[in-house]
Amino acid sequence: MKINTKEKFDHDGYAVLPKFFSSLWIDLAVKRVESIRRERPLDVVVDMLDTGDRTALGLLSLQDAMTRRMKINDLHLVVPEVRALALNNGIGSILQDLLGHTPVLCNSLYFEKGSAQPAHVDSLYMTPATPQHLIAIWVALEDTHPDAGPLEYYPGSHLIEQMKFSNGSYHFIPGEMPNWHTYMANQVKQKGLKITSFAAKKGDVFVWHSDLLHGGGQIKNPALTRKSLVFHYYSEVDCRSRHETLMPQSGAFWLKRAPQKLPASEIVKMPFVEEVYLARYPDVAAAVKNGSFASGAVHFDMYGRSEGRIPN
């Protein structure tokens, strides 16, 4: 299986693992995600897909949390059942074979509905320290209806030489993205690449290269769901070089870190809780212990708020 998957991945930039997860595994994860959405904790960060705003799940009303189209970030940090999908059941060894390095789970994204995201490559936004030391998977939590905005991709597009931005980096510069889109469109046309939709079934896993051009298809029926989880992985080599905190699981690792940063406009809506703040940010706790700050509250007032740190 690995050899065929590896050949497919190297040639086309992706591989499909049909029915990789059983309904039991999927249903456990979906049930826990549903619970989190109802509980609405303040330390789960969401991006609203209809407005582009970032907020905390706990700052939404129950109705909004259950009905609005959003991307829920990093549930793997707080939901073991979600983390299990990302690292257990042999997925780690497959990713190691495709990536060429031990994978480190670095983020997760939950979608209740289609993302409708324009075609892009992940290395633009999660640019690895070493080129191609990033890989991703998409897990179908239900059968995907073609009108629900299915995952779309361009087979072979991972072989396109990536455009460098004006600073010499492959990491996106917002003002230069129109140039990037024009460049990629020309490359797709020159190479004769064709867009393809993934007709996913519950439990299927789609693995893709960090430079594969992909996005979310048009949502023709907004009433339809397209429940899915996306996981991204850096290489252990890159994470070690940055002195990240790695937690072992099933022969691989996950990156222990704080939630995504929140905008100041959302932070002011949240109360400050000293003990929770220190537990969430070990660097602050260490600074308080060595006397650099009198308390976590002092750090938050001086730096944490402007850094987008969650206050509780």
Kindly state whether residues 59 and 122 are assigned to the same domain.
yes
Query: Do 157 and 233 lie in a common domain?
Result: yes
From residue 134, give the alpha-carbon distance in Å to each of 98, 117, 131, 174. Answer: 10, 20, 8, 21
For residue 118, the model assigns a pLDDT of 93
Residue with tokens 């994860």: 29
Q: Are residues 243 and 272 in the same domain?
A: no
pLDDT higher than 60, residue 3: no
Residues 270, 238 share a domain: no
- Residues 176 and 231 occupy one common structural domain: yes
Identify the domain boundary among 255, 272, 288.
255
- 56-73 pLDDT, tens digit per residue, is 999 999 999 999 999 999
Name the packing angle between helices 91-99 and 2-12 (round to 10°): 50
The pTM assigned to this predicted structure is 0.92
Q: Give bridge partners of residue 45 from the DSSP assignment.
A: 56
Q: Are residues 251 and 269 in the same domain?
A: no
Q: In this structure, is residue 291 part of a structural domain?
A: yes
Cα distance between residue 124 and residue 116, in whole Å: 18
Three-class secondary structure of residue 14 per DSSP:
strand
pLDDT surpasses 90 at 228: yes
Residues 187 and 124 in one domain: yes
For residue 312, being part of any structural domain is answered with: no
**175 and 269 inside one domain:** no
Q: Domain count for the chain, please give it.
A: 2
For 88-140, write each residue's pLDDT tens digit.
879 999 999 999 999 999 999 999 999 999 999 999 999 999 999 999 999 99
Mapped to the 3 state alphabet, what secondary structure does 37-71 carry?
A: HHHCCCCCEEEECCCCCEEEHHHCCHHHHHHCCEE
Domain that holds residue 287: 264-304
Instruction: Read off the pLDDT of each residue in 193-205 and give the average, rounded to a whole number.
Output: 97
Are 243 and 299 within one domain? no
User: Are residues 289 and 223 located together in one domain of the fold?
Assistant: no
Per-residue model confidence (pLDDT) at position 107? 96
The answer to the question of residue 310 being in a domain is no
Distance CA(7)–CA(312), nearest Å, equals 47
Whether residue 268 is found in the same domain as residue 148: no
| One domain, residues 142 and 271 | no
Helix, strand or coil, per DSSP, at residue 97: helix
Q: What is the CATH number of the domain that holds 94?
A: 2.60.120.620
**Widest CA span in the chain:** 62
Q: Does 311 fall in a domain? A: no
Is residue 309 in a domain?
Answer: no
